[in-house]
Amino acid sequence: MNKISILAHAKHLKRPVFTTRELAMLSKSSLSNTTQKLNTLEKRGLVFKVARGIWAEVGNEKLSPYALIPFLLPKNRSYVSFISALHLYGIIEQIPQVITLASTIHTKKIYTKIGTFIIHQILPALFNGFDWYRKTGDFLIAEPEKALIDSLYLSARKKKQFRYFPELYFPESFSFKKARQWAEKIPDLRIKSYVKKKLAKLAPAKYTLENVFGVVKPLKKPENFKKLKQIAIKEHVKKITEEMKKCNF
């Protein structure tokens, strides 16, 4: 099979990123033979090696660092979360220098030719709350509320990371009540308490009671409220007068 047909197989996948193993299976060739053909195509400027075993078509407009995510951990699932997810949702304007992912594997950093990725480890019990980005199937991403809780969770475990957020812009659709529900799923009581306190500080005043702590009924004023208020004022004035006498005013 010639080298152009390898590229034809790559185009047949209809995505900018492909792996050596995929093309070897499609072309019914060995991994070493497929790698050799891809290296030749790279010299001709048709493809380039992004990372070990991962290739991309030169000039493909759909190519982005996010297109690599499904191929970075072939044996483990991961999803975009933390600062990267918050940025994609418009909650953080600042563009992250690296793309942050959540997975159940040990924390690691992956360098590629088109982007750097940091995979942060989270508990299997918290590995949830994500879906395909914009329902496209390109890569998995945490829900906005889960991305925030993931960030706070990580800041509790690793004090230097996500300790301070850039300015946050929460859309109307953001549910602090839902975020608190995610926080309640954290098994470690110390970390859970830390996350809930941080979440309460981040919540705008109008959301603090209703969305973060659940629907709270307003306190009713007692029937003799005015009378109690007058008594309190008199007691306060009396106390101040006594203090002034002690100071010889």
> pLDDT tens digits for 136-189?
778 999 999 999 999 999 998 876 666 677 788 999 999 999 999 999 999 999
At 47 the pLDDT is 94
At 179 the pLDDT is 96
For 208-214, which contacts have Cβ atoms below 8 Å and span 24 or more sequence positions? 208/176, 210/177, 211/175, 211/176, 211/177, 211/180, 212/176, 212/177, 212/179, 212/180, 213/180, 214/177, 214/180
User: Considering only the top CATH level, what class is 3-63?
Assistant: mainly alpha
The residues spanned by each domain of the chain are 3-63, 73-212, 219-249
CATH 1.25.40 at 73-212, yes or no: no
Which regions in the chain score pLDDT beneath 70?
1-4, 159-163, 205-249
Q: What is the pTM of this model?
A: 0.76
The C-alpha angle 58, 60, 66, rounded to 5 degrees, equals 105
Structure tokens at 214: 């659940």
At 166 the pLDDT is 72
At 174 the pLDDT is 95
Structure tokens at 172: 């109307």
